[in-house]
Amino acid sequence: MEILAAYDLTRSYRDAAKICGVSHNTVRSYVKARQEGVQAPVARQRGRITDPFLPQMKSLVEQSRGKIRGDVVHGKLVDLGYPGSIRTTRYVLAGLKSKYRAQNTRVHRPWTVEPGLWLQWDYGDGPVVDGAKTVLFVAWLAYSRFRIVIPLRDKTMPSVFAALDRSFRLIGGVPTYVLTDNEKTVTIEHVAGVPVRNPQIVAFARHYSTAVHTCMPADPASKGGVENAVKIAKADIVPKDTNLRSDYASFAELEAACEAFMEDVNSKVHRATLEIPRDMLRLIEQPKLHPVPAVPVTASFGQVRQVPPNTPMVTYEHSRYSVPHTLMGQRLWVRGTDAEVIIVHVGEQGPVEVARHELTRPGVPAIIDSHFSTTRHTVTDQGQWLSQGTSAWANFGTASTNTSDDIDLEGATE
């Protein structure tokens, strides 16, 4: 309702003001103007105390890309003679920052990828196994959404190479490009915004006939697919209160959990494609992949050692280290760090770490009991043998005495 009509109806300034949602003084000014025969007053636009300082505030917002805090802006304005309160500064600054974000919002375009082109990989924090922190290597095929999770003990170059080789053999081919973050194993530094690749990763890419690309620094949106795969893998594999998963007793249990996770997620219908990733990989993407070299990259795995045919031990730096007894007679690769010795075996599924020992000195072999055959005799078995042998010898003595009593010796005297 109009102000004058409301006043004519109520004949009260305050009642008309309540009906129109204005001040009673406004109603009085309208009625007075009508009685005097002049035009109704126009609302005056009152300025803010911050208006003289708006150019400085806008400049600070643009320089900080919309991230500057209100107390920082207020301090700078006070130095320029600003007499207002910090509350007013924060209120005006919030509007300027909101307008800046609306004008500079990053627009994301959906990524339409061809089959066989891209594989992305990243890392996630794995569970603690045997008192040591593990790493989850997570790879993701961009087209089929096929996910790979491989547990690692570290993120060193040999471990990463072994995980990539296993991934290629698992999907049955090598994609044209692989994308990852700017880890030191991939990118040494950036010069004028151009990434400088690690020579070892360049040699690895050349061996597998692929190209390694990295994301922009501090830009996880450029590899959002694998970031989401890492989040899902950690939520299911790492023991938490949300999944009630118990701690892993061994690294083999963690590997089994990762394999079960891959089997589960790759057999379900993906909500983005409404297809099963395993079927999309087998029917569409796998024929587009390049063949995997028969011989993996082993230059970074260390020194070659031949396991004896009857003792699952290898020698490194004059010290002996045990390996699984199933590898007797096989060829292994051994490398050492400041505190550990890592042993790798290359089989049909690619490079696999089979043993990891703390450094030892010559004459004191490093042995893991599970590396030896389960049919070997234990101390308890030896005790049972001794007990059985003693009983048998006692029975033999008793039998001999009884037999001699029954024999009539010739020439014996009474």
Q: What is the pLDDT of residues 334-374, one digit of tens each?
A: 998 888 999 999 988 888 899 999 999 999 999 999 898 76
Orientation of helix 86-103 relative to helix 70-79, angle to 10°: 120
Compute, in degrees rounded to 10, the torsion defined by CA atoms 82, 88, 91, 95.
Answer: -40
* Domains of the chain, CATH where assigned: 3-36 (no CATH), 61-103 (no CATH), 118-288 (3.30.420.10), 302-371 (no CATH)
Residue of 241, 186, 242 lying closest to 217 (CA atoms): 186
Given its phi and psi angles, is residue 131 left (phi above 0), alpha (psi -120 to 50 degrees) or beta? Answer: left
Mean pLDDT of 200-212: 93
Residue 413's pLDDT is 41
> Is 50 exceeded by the pLDDT of residue 313?
yes
> Is 90 exceeded by the pLDDT of residue 384?
no
**3-state DSSP call for residue 99?**
helix
> Is 70 exceeded by the pLDDT of residue 392?
no
Mean pLDDT score of the chain, rounded to an integer?
86
Decide: 258 and 237 in contact? Cβ < 8 Å.
Answer: yes
Q: Has this prediction a pTM greater than 0.85?
A: no
Mean pLDDT of 315-337: 92
Query: What percent of the chain clears pLDDT 70, i.e. is strictly above it?
Result: 89
Mean pLDDT of 399-411: 45
Using 50, 70 and 90 to split pLDDT, how confident is the model at 379? Answer: very low
Q: By mean pLDDT, which of 54-63, 161-170, 346-355 is the weakest?
A: 346-355
Q: By mean pLDDT, which of 6-15, 37-46, 262-271, 272-281 is the weakest?
A: 37-46
Residue of 117, 97, 233, 240 lying closest to 171 (CA atoms): 117
Q: What is the number of H-type helices and E-type strands within the chain?
A: 12, 13
How many Cα atoms occupy the beta-carbon half-sphere of 333 within 13 Å? 18
Residue of 35, 249, 205, 214 lying closest to 122 (CA atoms): 214
Residue 221's pLDDT is 72
Residue 404's pLDDT is 45
C-alpha span between 85 and 41 (Å, rounded):
31
CB atoms within 10 A of CB 121: 23
Mean pLDDT of 101-109: 86
Residue 409's pLDDT is 40
Decide: 340 and 359 in contact? Cβ < 8 Å.
Answer: yes
**3-state DSSP call for residue 21?**
coil
Output b/e per residue, 292-322; b: 16+ Cβ within 10 A. beeebbbebbbeebebeeeebbbebeebbbb
Q: Where are the beta strands (DSSP E) in 44-146?
A: 118-129, 132-141
Residue 390's pLDDT is 52
